[in-house]
Each structure stands twice: as C-alpha cells, then as structure tokens.
Structure 1
Amino acid sequence: MLGYILQRILAAIPVMGFVALFVFLLLRLTPGDPAAIIAGDTATPAQLEAIRTSLGLNDPLFTQFFRWIGQLFQGDFGTSIISGKPVIELIAARMEPTISLALTTIVLSVAIAVPLGVIAAWKHGTLIDRFVMLLSVLGFSVPVFVIGYLMISLFSMQLGWFPVQGFKPIGDGVGKFFHTIALPTFTLTLLYIALIARITRTSMLEILGDDYVRTARAKGLPESRVLMRHALRNCSVPIITVIGIGLALIISGVVVTESVFNLPGLGRLTVDAVLARDYPVIQAVILLASLIYVVINLLIDIAYVILDPRIRYA
C-alpha cells in the first residue's frame, strides 16, 4: 500500500507540471494586458512599456515560465500584480470562507443524500422513489446561480431569515458563522444531494437483489440492519467515489456561489484576478485546485482498501 501511495505521488508530479505549463501559456496567449489595467485608460505608451518591463512581461515566455517555476520550488507563489501583496497571503486570507462552504456543503449533502438514496432504493417504484428522482433531475438541471438568486429572493428579501451577502468567521461566534454560511451551503447542497442520492439509489438497487441480502432477510434480521450493515456497506465504494468527486467539484462550484453571495473566498478571489489579468494569483489558485483534486483521488483510493478488504494494490 505504501508503495502504491508513493507511486501515485510521483505520478502526480508530471500532472502538476503539465497543468502549470498549460495555465501559464493560456493566460499569456489570451487577449488582455495587465499593464493597461494597472496604468488606467489615460496611460501613455511609454508608461505601459515601463510597467511591462518592471513586471517582466517583456521577457521571453520560456524565461518567464522558468522564473516562475523556480519561485514555486522556493515556496514563493509570486506577488499580485494588482495589489502588490504576496499571493500566498492573499490565498491564506481567503481560505476560511471557501473551506467552510466546502465542508458544510459536503457534510450536509452526505447526511441527507445517503439516507434518501437508501430509502428510494428500498421503496423502489413508490412515490418516495419518484420524489427522490425528481429532486435529482431538478438538482442537475437548474444552474447553481439560479438556485442562489432564488434562495436570496425567498429567504433573504421576502422572509428576511438570512443576510443577502457577507461572511462571519467562526471566531466571531458559531451562531453568526452559520447564519451567514447557511444560504450558500443550502444552494450548493441541492446540487450535490442530487448527485449523491442518485448514485446511492442505483448502487443499492444492484445490491438488494443479491443472495446474501436475501439470506440476511430470511434469517429474520431487522430491515434497518439489512439495509445499513449488509447492503449499504457493500455498495460503499461507488458512493465514496461520487462523494470524493463531489468534493472536488465543489471547488469549481464555490466560484459561482461566492460571487452570487459576495463571500470573500478563493472563488471570489479567482474571479477578481481573472478580470484584472492578475497572472500570479490565477496561476496559484489553479495549481492549488489541481493539487486538491490529486489529493482527493489518492484519499479515495485509500478508502477503497479500508472499505473493501478484497481490493489490493500492488
């Protein structure tokens, strides 16, 4: 197992290198000039040229790339072109809202979706099953930003239960924290409940027809024990897979959600950096997201072995 983990870590190195090269070239070959954004509309060509020279944007692309890679190996993600602050400080300051939103979303989604999927499979063909499938279709069909604006219209503007925007860190009080994070969490949760519940239902339907489940029922075991100890446990691998994929997808989902609810997280930082053509910030955030994807995939593979002892890695 240890050898497999080391192999996966080593395999991630060229993946991260390719991502770094792709992002670097994509940003610099697309239209837009950070110098023009910094200098403003009234800047002269000489001023623009001076800014580009000071930022190193006039250097050849390979020089800029290897300079950036060298900084990464030293733990330096560069300095924001717009704010002039170290990128690592900007990311650290924006981590709490994003992590809070991701964790509350995935915990609430799993807590609701897995029981829904189990019940839908158990009551296959009934109104409960159809309701769960309808919820799944709606969750997949409606864009996140539409759900977000509907949530704001209903629960913030009409009922006044939650604030329209903003974020309070947990250090300011648990009540204030959940009051501000609740609406964005519910918005993202609707999407991931649909994903996890559908996979749980499908996996449970395949397991419930197996011989060992019928044998457990024939022994007179309670239905709850048959469902949870025998069926759900043996179909946990695909469920864990989709939960891991959902956690990785939340990274992209928070970009839209944080913009809708004006949360000061990484998603909002990314949007602002893209609009300002702030190369160092965009590169650092995308690399961080790619690293999270790699780590989540590794954790999923490790979870396979824990949940199903029959799985072995050479």
Structure 2
Amino acid sequence: MLSYILRRVLAAIPVMIFVALFVFLLLRLSPGDPAAIIAGDTATPEQLEQIRERLGLNDPLLVQFADWGWRLLQGDFGESILSGTPVTSMIADRMEPTISLALTTIVLSIVIAVPLGVIAAWKHGTIIDRVVMAISVLGFSVPVFVIAYVLIQVFAINLKWLPVQGFTSIFDDPGTFAQRITLPTLTLTSLYIALIARITRTSMLETLGEDFVRTARAKGLAERRVLMKHALRNSAVPIVTVIGIGFALIISGVVVTESVFNLPGIGRLTVDAVLARDYPVIQGVILLASLLYVGINLLIDIAYVILDPRIRYA
C-alpha cells in the first residue's frame, strides 16, 4: 500500500507541472492587459510600460514561467497584481465559506441520497422507484441558479425565514451560520442528491442480483440486514467514488452559488480575479483545485481497500 501511495504521489508531479504550464500559457496568451487594468483608462503609454516592467510582463514567457515555477517550489504563489496581497493569504481568507458550504452540502446529500437510492433499487419498477428517478432527473435538468432564485423567493422573500446573502463563521455565531448557509446548501444539495441517488440505485441493482444476496435471503436474514450489510456494503465503491469527486467539484465549482448568495469564498475570488486579469490569483486557485482533485482521488483509492478487502494494490 505504501509503495502504491508513493507511486501515485510521484505520478501526480508531471500532472501538476502540465496543469501549471497550461494555466500559465492560457492566461498569458489570452487577450487583455493587466497593466491597463491597474493603471486605469487615463494612463499614458509610459506608465503602462513601467507597470509591465515592474510586473515582469515584458520578460520572455520562458523566463516568466521559470521564475513563477521556482517561487512555487518555495511555497510562494506570488502576490495579487491589484492589491499586492500574497495569494496564499487571499486563498486562506476565502477557504472557510467554501469548505463550510462543501461540507454541509455533501453531508446532507449523503444523508438523503443514499437511502433514496437504496429504496429505489429495493422497490425497482414501482412508483417509489419512478418518483426517485424523477427527482434525480429534475435535479440534473434545472440550472443551479434557477433553484437558488426559487429558494430565495420562497424562503427569504415570501416566508422571510432565512437571510439571502452573507456569511458568518460557525466559530463566531453557530446560529447565524446555520441561517446563512442553509439556502446555499439546499441549492447545491439538489444537484448532488440527484447524482448520488442515481449512482447508488444503479450500483445497488447490480449487487442485489448477485448470488451472495440471494443466499443471504435464503438463510432467512431480515431484508433490512440484507440491504444494508450485504448489498450496500458491496455497492460502496462506486458510491464513494462519486461522493469524493462530488466533494472536489463542490469546492472548485461553487462560482454560481457563491455569486448568487454573496458568499466570500473561493468562487467569488476566482470571478473577481478573472475580471481583473489578476494572473497570480487565478493561477493559485486553479493549482489548488488541481491538487485537491489529485489528493481526493488518492484518498478514494485508499478507501477502496477498506470497503472491499478483495482489492489489493501491489
């Protein structure tokens, strides 16, 4: 197992180098001039040239990439072009809202979606199965921002139960945190319930047709025990996979939800950086998301061994 983990970590190095190179070239070769954004519309050509020289934008691309890569190896993601704040500090300040939203979303999705998927597979072909699948299709079909605005209209404007915007740390005021995180969580949960429920149902249907499930039933075991201990446990590998990937997707893809609910998270930081052509911030966020994907995939592979003892890594 340790040798496998080491190989996976080493294999991730060229992947991260390729991602860094791709992001660097994509940003540098796309239209737009950070110096013009910093200097404003009234800047003279001389002022623009001074800013480009100060930021190193006049250096050859290879020199810029080598300098940036060397600083990355030292843990320095650079400084924001606009504010001069270290990128690591900016990302750290925005992590709590995004992680809070991701954790509440994935926990609520698992609590609701896994039982729904199990019940749909157990009652395959019945009205219950069709209702669960209809909910899944609806969750996939409706855009996230539409669900967000519907929830805002119902729970914030009409019923006045919950606030629309803002974020409060759970460490400062747990009650206010729960109120402000509820609507964003429900918005994203609608999508991930659909995803996890469908995967759970599909995996359970395959497992329920296996010989060991029929043997368990023939022994007279209670249906609940057959479903939970035998079928669900042996269906856990694809379910864990989609949950892990979903968690990474939530953290790196909450741009719309954070924008609608005005959450000061990574998604909002990314939007602001893209609009301002703030190269260091964009690069730092994308590299963080890539590293997150690699790390979660590694954890998923390790979880396979725990969930299914038949799986062994040389």
TM value normalised by structure 2: 0.98
Distance 2:151 2:277 in 1: 31
* Contact 2:166–2:262 (8 Å) recurs in 1: yes
| Percent identity for Structure 1 against Structure 2 | 79
Deviating more after overlay: 146-155 vs 191-200 = 146-155
* Contact 1:188–1:253 (8 Å) recurs in 2: no
* Contact 2:99–2:251 (8 Å) recurs in 1: no
- Provide structure 1 residue ranges, at least 5 long, that are not aligned to the other structure: none
Distance 1:255 1:33 in 2: 24
1:105-126 C-alpha deviation (Å, 9 max, x unpaired): 1111011100000000111111
- Residues 46-195 of structure 1: pairs in structure 2 closer than 5 A: 46-195=46-195
Distance 1:138 1:251 in 2: 23
CA shift for structure 1 position 153: 1.6
Q: Secondary structure at the match of 2:75?
A: coil
State the superposition RMSD in angstroms: 0.9
- For these two proteins, the number of residue pairs brought into alignment is 314
In structure 1, the residue matched to 2:233 is: 233
Distance 1:78 1:166 in 2: 28
CA shift for structure 1 position 83: 1.0
- Provide structure 2 residue ranges, at least 5 long, that are not aligned to the other structure: none
CA shift for structure 1 position 158: 1.4
Letter in 2 for 1:305: V
CA shift for structure 1 position 284: 0.3
Letter in 1 for 2:44: T
Runs of 4+ in 1 over 6 A off after TM superposition: none
Distance 2:14 2:260 in 1: 35
In structure 2, the residue matched to 1:200 is: 200
1:7-63 C-alpha deviation (Å, 9 max, x unpaired): 000000000000000000000110111111111111111111111111111111111
Letter in 1 for 2:104: T
Q: Secondary structure at the match of 1:92?
A: helix
Distance 2:64 2:27 in 1: 12
Letter in 2 for 1:112: I
Distance 2:199 2:306 in 1: 20
Distance 2:131 2:252 in 1: 28
CA shift for structure 1 position 253: 3.0
Distance 2:128 2:160 in 1: 31
